[in-house]
Amino acid sequence: MAAKLKVAVLGATGYSGLELTRLLLRHPQLEKPALLRRSEDSANGKGHVNLADIFPALSGNGSYPLEPLSWSSLKQKGVELLFLATPHEVSRALVPEAVAQGIRVVDLSGAWRLKQDQHRAIYGFKDADAVTAAELTQKAVYGLPELNSDQIPDATVVANPGCYATTVILALAPLLKSGLVDRERGIIADSKSGVSGAGKEPSSRTHFVSVADNLSAYAVFTHRHLGEIAEQLQLSTNEVTFTPHLLPIPRGILSTIYVHLKQPLQAAKIETCYRDFYKGKPFVRVFANPKLPEIQFSLNTNYCDLGFCLAPDGERLVIISCEDNLIKGAAGQAVQNMNLMYGWSEEEGLL
C-alpha cells in the first residue's frame, strides 16, 4: 500500500482553516495533518495548545495539538504540502521560506493570486526579497480547477481563489470564452455573502447588531477580488462593476451577474454553452433552465451552482451563481487543488 501524504495546516483556528482541517482529517490519502501556530501568536498570548480548546465541537474526537511552526520539524516529519489559511501579508512572507525548504504550498489568502502590479497594489506588500517574490508571483498557479487543471498538477505554489471571485469567474467564463458577451455594454456582478466571508476577526461591520436584520454593500469599486475577476477573465476593471454585500447569515454566497449578448440567442444555446464548458468538471452543477440556484442548495458542499434567465429579447442575460464560501470558496477548493497536485480524483475526500 502506498504511503499516505503528510500535510500541515497553518491557520486552523480561523473559519476556513477549521473547515480545511475537517476535510483533511477524513481524506483517505492523508495522514493526520500537522496543525501549526506561529511563534508570534504564542508571544502575544494567542497560542492555544489544542484546536478543540477553540472549537469545542471537536472535543471527544482525539487530540488536535497546535505546534509551533518550524521548518526543520516539518522536514523531519516528512511534510510535503503546507496549507496556509493565514492573513495575506503572512502568506506573502512564508511562501518563499516554504519553497526554499522544498515544501509545496496551497495558499488560501490573496498573497499570490495576482500577476499584474496594478491589481496587487491594493495589498501593499513589502517583500523582504523582491526578486524572489516576483519570481514566485509569476510561477504561482491560480487554483481554479475548472479553468487551470492542466497547470495545477505541477505547481509548487497554488493560489487558492477568492470566494466571491470563484462565483463570478465560473459564471462568466463559458460565455466569454465563446465570445457571446457584448463587453462594450459592461458586466455587472452583484454578490452577497454570509458573515463568515469577512473572517473570524470581529469588526464593527460584522458585529451581530450591525448584521442582523440588515443588508449592506461595501468596498464598492475597491474590493480585492475585482482584480482576480479581471485577470482570470482577461477583462479590464472598467468592463466589470463588482459590488459585494453582507448578508445576515453565517455562510454562503449568491452572485447575480448581468450581461448583454452580442446577438439574440435561445435559452437552449446558453445552456449548451455551460454544459459543454463544464463537462467532466464534477463540482460545477448547471441547473436546467429556468430553475435557479439558491444558497441553501450548495451549503456544506464543494459545488458551485449555476443557473440563468434569458430576457424575452434574447439579448439580456442574468446568471445566478451560488457556493458555500468556506468550502468551494476556500477549504474545499484547496483540497480539490491538492487532489490535482497529487494525481487523485478531484472528488477525493470531498463527497
CATH number of the domain bearing residue 126: 3.40.50.720
**Domain CATH number, residue 222:** 3.30.360.10
Residue 348 lies in a domain: no
By three-state DSSP, how is residue 66 classified? strand
Do 117 and 61 fall within a single domain? yes
Closest CA to 111 of 82, 140, 148, 81: 140
Percent of the chain with pLDDT over 70: 97
268 and 334 fall within a common domain? no
Helix-helix angle 332-341:15-25, to 10 degrees: 50
Do 168 and 242 lie in one domain? The reply is: yes
> Model confidence over 79-100: pLDDT tens digits?
999 999 999 999 999 999 999 9
Structural domain boundaries, residue 13: 7-161+330-341
Q: First CA to last CA across the chain, in angstroms?
A: 23
Per-residue pLDDT at 1: 60
State how far the Cα of 314 lies from the Cα of 335, in Å rounded to an integer: 39
CA distance 305 to 295: 9
Both 114 and 77 in one domain: the answer is yes
**Is 347 inside a domain boundary?**
no
In the set 163, 273, 304, 322, the catalytic residue is 163
User: Do both 254 and 134 map to the same domain?
Assistant: no
Same domain, 261 and 222: yes
Q: Give the range among 64-73, 74-83, 140-149, 198-207 with minimum mean pLDDT.
A: 198-207
Average pLDDT, the chain: 95
Strand ranges of the sheet holding 81-84, from the earlier edge strand across to the other edge: 66-68, 34-37, 7-10, 81-84, 104-107, 157-159, 141-142
71 located within any domain: yes
- As beta bridge partners, residue 125 has none
The 10s digit of each residue's pLDDT in 171-193 is: 999 999 999 999 999 999 999 99
DSSP string, 68-131: EP-HHHHHHHT--EEEE-S-HHHHHHHHHHHHHTT-EEEE-SSTTS--SHHHHGGG----SSHH
Residue from 297, 290, 293 nearest 271 by CA = 290
Domain contains 346: no
Q: Rounded distance, CA 180 to CA 282, Å?
A: 24
Q: Is 163 a catalytic residue?
A: yes
Q: How many domains does the chain have?
A: 2
**Is 350 a domain residue?**
no
Determine if residue 41 is left, alpha or beta; phi over 0 gives left, psi from -120 to 50 gives alpha, anything else beta. alpha
pTM recorded for the entire structure = 0.96
- Do 168 and 155 lie in one domain? The reply is no
**pLDDT-derived band at 206, boundaries 50, 70, 90:** confident
Asked if pLDDT for residue 121 goes beyond 70, the answer is yes
Helical (H) or strand (E) element with 190: strand 187-193
Does one domain contain both 99 and 200? no
In a domain, 1, yes or no: no
Planar angle of CA 191, 192, 197, nearest 5 degrees: 110
CA dihedral 121, 125, 131, 133 (to 10 degrees): -100
Is 260 in the same domain as 207?
yes
Report yes or no on 200 lying in a domain: yes
Domain-located, residue 53: yes
Between the alpha carbon of residue 228 and those of residues 3, 85, 110, 259, the distances in Å are 37, 18, 9, 19
**Is the domain of 203 the same as that of 320?**
yes
On whether both 195 and 153 belong to a single domain, the answer is: no
213 by Cβ neighbours in 10 Å (0-12 / 13-18 / 19+) ranks as exposed
Residues 203 and 129 in one domain: no
pLDDT digits (tens, 9 = 90+) for 227-251: 999 999 999 999 999 999 999 999 9
